[in-house]
């Protein structure tokens, strides 16, 4: 069976003599070999309308134009063609970003996610390590249009086995650089790296330096629809949450430890925040996430992704905390209320009139001048 292939950009044609049972996957491998292509090609052609309609649940269909599913056979392709003289078109590079976006989000869109609306949203992700790495990937796959990646770490040999966006070639790169490279390759997404340290208890209390960092971070918080805290430094996550509240942005926190992990959703108009009932000196900073069970990592990532997407899509959230207990393999969800006397969200909490006042509050709160 002879199948004619054509590059739609150059008009170059290539004929394959195929067995009728050969699938699109088989054709792709043969084309890569025959033409020495650098990238695996994607195929499309034009089918009779009834056959195109039949395939609409399996692939991307636009009228009679059909992106060929991997398991479609050569016999089916030839039988379904709108005109037997039509070629099968192939693209191995420069695939349109809108088409890449469709590939990435098509099935999720059918599953009920409004991927077009998500593509209009901007998320600030603080921390792209154990949890943030997978959260970033999930948000990108779901179609979020802009993700600001904030971290101050570098990829090491431990990271590449539990953080899927990192590989051996990324070791010693900044984490934000490595993640942004991967996400931007997906198409129709702007992944912006921001290599900056979020002030925490371990930060040198140089007021000018702290204020400069807070200015950078705050500008990204103000430009985002949602802030996610996925840092393993707890006091740093608290600082991100304070700035989110100052800018009236929702904040999703995620953390794991040897016991399991949890995720919370916080809203600026509620008496409830990450810092409730906790003073800076009582935070146990120090990267406990490295001891987490692997299923705790995956579970908390999934829960944080769900909270984040619900916030971005404006859905009601009945409960604002989900805990996973690794020893019992149990999930517990609840509606957690804030502490009325909290210095951040309580009755006498943060009420900064401008950014400078907010930065002053954070500096004093971190370094022992706010009780």
Domain boundaries, the chain: 2-95, 103-366
CA distance 350 to 189: 34
Residues of the chain with pLDDT under 50: 371
Helix axes 132-141, 97-110, angle to 10 degrees: 100
Other CB atoms within a 10 A radius of the CB of residue 145 amount to: 20
Tokens of residue 316, six digits: 């009601």
The DSSP letter of residue 125 is E
CATH 3.40.50.970 assigned to 103-366? no
Burial of 341 (0-12, 13-18, 19+ CB in 10 A): exposed
Tokens of residue 117, six digits: 């609306």
pLDDT at 123: 98
Tokens of residue 18, six digits: 């195929």
Dihedral angle, C-alpha 271, 113, 137, 187, nearest 10 °: -130
Nearest to 123 by CA among 257, 220, 259: 220
pLDDT at 143: 96
CA distance 368 to 371: 7
CATH no., domain 2-95: 3.10.20.90
Tokens of residue 142, six digits: 């779901």
CB 243 within 8 A of CB 217: yes
pLDDT at 371: 45
CA distance 267 to 293: 29
- pTM equals 0.85
Other CB atoms within a 10 A radius of the CB of residue 3 amount to: 18
Give 3-state DSSP helix, strand, coil % of the chain, rounded to 5: 35, 20, 45
Three-class DSSP category at 322:
strand
CB 216 within 8 A of CB 261: no
Determine phi and psi for 138, rounding to 5 degrees.
-60, -45
pLDDT at 352: 76
Tokens of residue 25, six digits: 């996957």
CB 113 within 8 A of CB 90: no
The DSSP letter of residue 23 is B
Report the phi/psi class of residue 17: left, alpha or beta, with left for phi > 0 and alpha for psi in -120 to 50.
beta
The DSSP letter of residue 190 is E
């Amino acid at each position: 069976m002879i199948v004619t292939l054509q590059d739609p950009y150059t008009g170059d044609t290539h004929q394959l003599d195929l067995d009728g049972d050969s699938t699109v996957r088989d054709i792709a491998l043969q084309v890569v070999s025959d033409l020495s292509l650098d990238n695996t090609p994607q195929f499309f052609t034009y089918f009779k309308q009834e056959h195109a309609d039949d395939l609409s649940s399996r692939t991307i269909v636009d009228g009679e134009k059909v992106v060929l599913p991997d398991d479609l056979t050569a016999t089916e392709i030839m039988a379904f063609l709108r005109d037997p003289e039509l070629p099968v078109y192939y693209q191995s590079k420069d695939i349109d970003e809108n088409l890449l976006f469709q590939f990435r989000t098509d099935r999720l869109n059918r599953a009920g996610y409004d991927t077009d609306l998500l593509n209009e949203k901007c998320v600030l992700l603080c921390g792209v390590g154990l949890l943030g790495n997978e959260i970033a990937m999930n948000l990108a796959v779901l179609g979020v249009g802009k993700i600001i990646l904030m971290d101050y770490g570098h990829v090491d040999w431990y990271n590449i086995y539990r953080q899927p966006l990192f590989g051996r070639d990324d070791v010693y790169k900044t984490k934000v650089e490595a993640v942004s490279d991967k996400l931007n390759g997906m198409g129709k997404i702007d992944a912006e790296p921001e290599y900056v340290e979020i002030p925490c208890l371990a930060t040198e209390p140089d007021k000018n330096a702290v204020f400069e960092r807070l200015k950078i971070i705050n500008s990204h918080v103000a430009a985002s629809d949602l802030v996610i805290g996925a840092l393993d430094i707890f006091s740093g996550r608290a600082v991100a949450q304070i700035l989110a509240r100052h800018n009236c942005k929702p904040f999703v926190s995620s953390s794991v430890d040897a016991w399991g992990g949890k995720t919370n959703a916080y809203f600026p108009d509620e008496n409830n925040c990450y810092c409730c009932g906790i003073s800076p000196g009582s935070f146990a900073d120090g990267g406990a996430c490295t001891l987490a069970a692997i299923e705790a990592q995956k579970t908390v990532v999934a829960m944080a992704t769900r909270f984040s997407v619900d916030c971005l899509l404006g859905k009601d959230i009945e409960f604002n905390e989900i805990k996973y207990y690794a020893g019992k393999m149990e999930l517990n969800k609840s509606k957690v209320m804030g502490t009325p006397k909290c210095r951040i969200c309580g009755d006498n909490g943060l009420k900064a009139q401008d950014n400078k006042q907010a930065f002053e509050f954070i500096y004093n709160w971190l370094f022992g001048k706010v009780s």
